[in-house]
Every structure is written in structure tokens, then in C-alpha cells.
Structure 1
Amino acid sequence: MIVNETLKTIKQRRSIRSFKDEQIREEELQAVLEAGLYAPNAGDQSWHFTVVQNRELLDRLNLAAKEVAKQMEMEHLRKLGKNEKFNCLYGAPTLIMVSGNEHAPVPLEADCAAATQNLLLAAESIGLGSCWIFFVLLAFYSSEGSELRKQLKIPEGYRPYCSAVLGYKKATVVNVPDRRKPNLITYIR
């Protein structure tokens, strides 16, 4: 089996949902963002990253997303929306939203997802905790959605497709056993 630092980072990365209050250092943020910019894409890098480190705005995004979740058909999401203790950002000090140009000639969800994966792997490689967050995107369907887009300075014609939180891990992550499902690969040789 081939092993190197990149493959080790991929295998050891876990979603972190418990963060220290301390903000990440600027050089760590810049390293993660640069990795996101180097993600594979359909050729025109039609994405935009929005970094949110303002606690008041992070709390507002959480509450707006929860308001939308309370009205959703999926019972699981409704329960989370009604749970006063639930914070969809898990108290992380940094949120990165990845928006895509809605007028790009190719599906942007894939480009934004690739950039988000690079963000997560870069965070792990430098010792930061991270978690891919869908729930917070519900905030843009709230009554505050338009105002939030303006406050976050999301460019006109761009839509938030993905997001991730970053911070210092509150606890050491124990290496959990591999839980990959069997039979996910078919070979035709």
C-alpha cells in the first residue's frame, strides 16, 4: 500500500464539531484559502470565498438558518431548528462560504465542492479542525436572506453552494476505525 503525507491527511481528516473560542491565526487562514483557490475547476474559477469571523454575524446566520429549518418537511431538520442548544456552526470562530457564479457555463456545485474539499484537507494538514456545513446555507432562504447576502458582500450573480467552519480542535481526535462501506468500487479491466 502506498503511503505519503497527502494520503495520510486525507485518511485522518474528520469532521470536528467542538472548537476552542480562540480565533485561528491569519497565516493559517491564508494557507487554507490558497489551497481552496488551487482546487480543480472547469477552467474559469467561477467561485468566490467569503470569510466570516464576526461572532455577531455568525450567530445571526445560525439563527436565520434555524428559522428556515423549523418550517422544513424533513423532521430531522425541523428538530434541529427548534433545538435552542443547537448551533449549526458548532461555535467555530471562522466560517468560509464558497459561492459560485450562477451564469458560468458548467455546473458550479462541483467546482465549489472541490474548493471546499481543498479547504478541509488544508485545514487538517496544518492542525486545524474543520467541518463541511450545509445547514447554514438555509439562512439565505430566510426573511433576512437578501440582507445577509449584502452584508456578506456576496457578488451579484453568485450563490452560496458550500461552506465550512474552521477552528482549533477542543479535544484530541482519536483515530476511529475505518467505517467505509464495502463494495463501493467496481473494476472493469
Structure 2
Amino acid sequence: MPVNETLNSIKNRRSTRNFKSEQIKAEELQAVLEAGIYAPSAGNQQAWHFTVIQNKELLTWLNREAKKKAKQLKIEHLQTMASNESFNIFYGAPTVILVSGEENAVVIESDCAAATQNMLLAAESIGLGSCWVDFVIIAFTGSEGEEYLENLGIPDGYKPYASVALGYKNTEAIEPPPRNRNVINYIR
């Protein structure tokens, strides 16, 4: 089976849920963002927007808002997570990239997912830890949601679909769980 750096990054990437407090370097952040910009998009619309948050107080506020709103949802596992005082939705990452998309774009959820995955793989390839965090989008629900979007500089007509927590790993590499190999059929 062929092996190269890209395939190794795909196979080695794991969600990092324990980050060092040290901020990542500007050039590392730019490499990750560049990977997001080069993701495929339907009709080459590139209808995404990336909001980089490195302000600790703002990350704390987003964590608190998302957890506050999650407690009101009728989804038991989210309520349980949100009720845990020590749980941080970003796992202490010093950088978070909020991935938003133009709501009227064609299949924008897929485009934002592709950009998010590119950023996760880029992070792995340069030695950063990363975690795909959807929990944060709960913070933008309700009557205050539009105000929060405006305060973060997210363009009109866009909404968050995901976020990427980024930082230096504060954990040892773990082996991947076994993969289900019975998910492929061939038609030749």
C-alpha cells in the first residue's frame, strides 16, 4: 500500500483534548488557515469565513455562553457536559478558528466541513494538536446570536458551522481505535 506524508497525517491525526497554554506561532496559524482556504467547495464558491480567536477572555466567554445555552437543550449528554464546571469546550486550546459559512451558499455545511478537515490535517502535519469542536455553535442560538456574530466580525448572512481548537499537544500520541473495514463495496 502506498505511504506518504499526507496519508500518514490522515492516519496519525487524533483529537487533542489537552493543550499547552503556550500560544502557537503566527506562521503555524497561517499554514493552517491556508489549508482551510484551499479546501474544495461546491461550484468553487469559497463561501466560508474564518474567525481566529486568541483572546483568552473571549474564549472563556464563548465557553460559558455555549455551556449556559446547552443546559437549556433537551439533549441529555449536552446538558451533562455543560453542567460539568471543569469542562472547557475548547479543552484549553489557546487558539480557536471559528468556521462560518454563507447561509445561502449551495451545500455550505459540506464546504465548511471540508475546510475544517483540511485545517485539522494541516495542524497534524506541522505538529500541532487540534480538535473539531461543534459545541461552540450553541452559543450563537437564541435572541443574542445575531449580536454575538456581529461582535465577532462575522459577515452578514454567515453563521458558524464548526470550530477548530488549536495548540501544542500536552498529551502523548495514542493508537487509533480499530477501524471498521466492512464499510466498502466495489462495483466493477
Where on the TM-score scale, by shorter chain, does this alignment land: which range?
over 0.9
Residue 155 of structure 1: aligned partner:
155
Q: What SS does the corresponding residue of 2:115 show, helix, strand or coil?
A: helix
Measured in 1, the distance between the counterparts of 2:133 and 2:31 equals 20
Closer/same/farther in 2, CA of residues 82 and 40 from structure 1, 3 Å limit = same
Residue 173 of structure 1: aligned partner:
173
CA contact (8 A) 1:19 1:92 kept: yes
Measured in 2, the distance between the counterparts of 1:146 and 1:44 equals 24
| 5+ residue gaps, structure 1 | none
Closer/same/farther in 2, CA of residues 166 and 44 from structure 1, 3 Å limit = same
1:50 is the counterpart of 2:51: yes
Task: Give the number of equivalent residue pairs.
Answer: 187
The Cα shift of 1:146 comes to: 2.7
The Cα shift of 1:182 comes to: 2.9
| Superposed counterparts of 1:1-189, under 5 Å | 1-42=1-42, 43-104=44-105, 106-142=106-142, 144-174=144-174, 176-189=175-188
Residue deviations 1:119-164 (CA, integer Å, cap 9, x gap): 0000000000000001011100155423321221000000111111
Measured in 1, the distance between the counterparts of 2:81 and 2:143 equals 19
| 5+ residue gaps, structure 2 | none
Letter in 1 for 2:90: L
The Cα shift of 1:74 comes to: 1.4
Moved over 4 A (4+): none
Measured in 2, the distance between the counterparts of 1:181 and 1:133 equals 24
Measured in 2, the distance between the counterparts of 1:99 and 1:154 equals 8
TM-score by length of 2: 0.96
CA contact (8 A) 1:53 1:93 kept: yes
Q: What SS does the corresponding residue of 1:84 show, helix, strand or coil?
A: coil
Q: What SS does the corresponding residue of 1:79 show, helix, strand or coil?
A: helix
Q: What SS does the corresponding residue of 1:163 show, helix, strand or coil?
A: strand
Could you tell me the percent identity over the aligned residues? Answer: 63
Letter in 2 for 1:173: A
Closer/same/farther in 2, CA of residues 33 and 14 from structure 1, 3 Å limit = same
Residue deviations 1:17-47 (CA, integer Å, cap 9, x gap): 0000000000000000001100011111011
Letter in 2 for 1:186: N
Measured in 2, the distance between the counterparts of 1:184 and 1:63 equals 39
Computed over aligned residues only, the root mean square deviation of the Cα atoms, in angstroms, reads 1.1
